Amino acid sequence: MKADIRKQAAELGFDDCRFTTAQPPESAPDLERWLAQGRQGEMAYMQRNAHKRVNPQRVLAGAQSTITLAVSYRAEHEREPGIHEPAISSWHLSAFPPTPTLSPRRGSHAGMPSLSGVVARYARFEDYHEVIGARLKQLVEFLNHLGGPATRSLWYIDTGPLLERDLAQRAGLGFIGKHTNLISRKLGNWIFLAEILTTLELEPDTPETNRCGSCMRCITACPTAAITGPFQLDARRCISYLTIELKGPIPVEFRAAMGNRIYGCDDCLAVCPWNRFAQEGRLMSAHARRDLAMPDLLGLLALDEAGFKKRFAGTPMLRAKRKGLLRNVCVALGNIKDPSALAALERAANDSEPLIAEHACWAIEQINS
């Protein structure tokens, strides 16, 4: 039965498929400590659903097995940084204090427009929830047919109250790295995770063991020291949290470290040596949005609400909303410090949305200073 499920998963475009039980993850106490320390920031849903996250039975009563799946979003056209090279978004603005003799224009990567922003790689596609969700639905239908009329199954793609990385590690899909993300030995760091809880009893696969060794590259690479120690993340300092999950002003202490990142951050993922084994994703490659890789910041700053929705419809970036994304754009322009952005920033300083106006004023101050 497992062989049939794996074959169907592969035909649907999944790059890996592993199995484990539906028993509570062994890391449940770690989640409780993390929440008690407030490291989730404004992500209240983490606390609200904690009782389900630590016990899959509360998500699907009678669940016997968890099927964990991976979809690679590695793109062959993107150059992988070498072990000793900075990640694509880590131009000189990330190495603070900035080198006085290096201008933002000369400090940018070859071919990168001087007023462009960087978007995390996972968001440079059509919304993965929709793309992968459609395949998960088909896989669940196949699974339920295979198991018979009494079989019940639920699927999730980054949406359910599950400790998906812990379940994936127990299933042998990969291991949780020191940056707290899952690393696959055959797919590297560039993977989406999905899960199916089912009442069908399936033999569990062998768990994966940690293979980070003495490597500390991800911890060293973090621009805001959000990885406070091996396997320890303070989300409140993470650029992905600051640019996506945080709804209010970005703390001034972190703005400079954001550089030109406007949606997420890949630095801890990009420096991982396991990426040398990464393969291009078969499923996601057809849904790439290359226009989102390094978009023009001034063009983004000119978007009204309708323009924002049209530009980012069907992409993960819609999650940030106009006010969140333009807030991030203002910070990026303030870090680049190009005077040619002043006129656009002055218009943004009069935006009806206070969050955008405040960050535009900050950016103007950075340029004028």
Please give the pLDDT value at position 38: 83
Asked if the structure places residue 61 within a domain, the reply is yes
Q: Same structural domain for residues 194 and 332?
A: no
d(CA 96, CA 114): 19
The answer on pLDDT for 150 being more than 50 is: yes
Whole-number percent of the chain with pLDDT over 90: 78
- Would residue 158 show up in a list of annotated catalytic residues for this protein? yes
Q: Same structural domain for residues 42 and 146?
A: yes
Please give the pLDDT value at position 66: 98
Residue 275 has which token pair? 């990426």
- Tell me the pLDDT tens digit for each residue of 79-114: 543 322 333 343 333 333 332 222 333 334 334 446
Asked if the structure places residue 264 within a domain, the reply is yes
Q: In whole numbers, what is the pLDDT of the chain averaged over residues?
A: 89
Give the residue numbers spanning the domain of 310: 92-124+236-269+289-368
d(CA 13, CA 15): 6
Q: Same structural domain for residues 22 and 163?
A: yes
Mean pLDDT (whole number) for 248-277: 96
Please give the pLDDT value at position 96: 32
Asked if the structure places residue 250 within a domain, the reply is yes
Q: Same structural domain for residues 200 and 259?
A: no
Asked if the structure places residue 154 within a domain, the reply is yes
Asked if the structure places residue 72 within a domain, the reply is yes
Asked if the structure places residue 324 within a domain, the reply is yes
Query: Residue 75's pLDDT band (boundaries 50, 70, 90)?
Result: confident
Q: How far apart are the first and last CA of the chain?
A: 66
Asked if the structure places residue 262 within a domain, the reply is yes
Please give the pLDDT value at position 43: 81
**DSSP letter assigned to residue 158:** S
Residue 210 has which token pair? 């940690």
- Tell me the pLDDT tens digit for each residue of 27-74: 888 888 888 888 887 887 777 888 888 899 999 999 999 999 999 999
d(CA 250, CA 239): 10
Mean pLDDT (whole number) for 14-32: 92
Mean pLDDT (whole number) for 132-159: 95
Please give the pLDDT value at position 51: 85
Q: Same structural domain for residues 349 and 265?
A: yes
Q: Same structural domain for residues 167 and 261?
A: no
Mean pLDDT (whole number) for 149-174: 95
Asked if the structure places residue 85 within a domain, the reply is no
**DSSP letter assigned to residue 243:** I
Q: Same structural domain for residues 263 and 155?
A: no
Q: Looking at 16, 30, 158, 205, which residue is catalytic?
A: 158
Task: Yes or no: say if 129 and 136 are a contact pair by the CB < 8 Å rule.
Answer: no
Q: Same structural domain for residues 254 and 355?
A: yes
Please give the pLDDT value at position 106: 32
Please give the pLDDT value at position 77: 59
Task: Yes or no: say if 45 and 170 are a contact pair by the CB < 8 Å rule.
Answer: no
Please give the pLDDT value at position 78: 60
Q: Same structural domain for residues 153 and 297?
A: no
- Sign of the torsion formed by the C-alpha atoms of 55, 186, 274 and 267: negative
- Tell me the pLDDT tens digit for each residue of 330-363: 999 999 999 999 999 999 999 999 999 999 999 9
d(CA 260, CA 237): 16
Q: Same structural domain for residues 112 and 257?
A: yes
Domains: count for the chain: 2
Task: Yes or no: say if 179 and 267 are a contact pair by the CB < 8 Å rule.
Answer: no
d(CA 258, CA 237): 11
- Tell me the pLDDT tens digit for each residue of 188-227: 999 999 999 999 999 999 999 999 999 999 999 999 999 9
Q: Same structural domain for residues 259 and 344?
A: yes
- Tell me the pLDDT tens digit for each residue of 132-145: 999 999 999 999 99
Q: Same structural domain for residues 112 and 158?
A: no
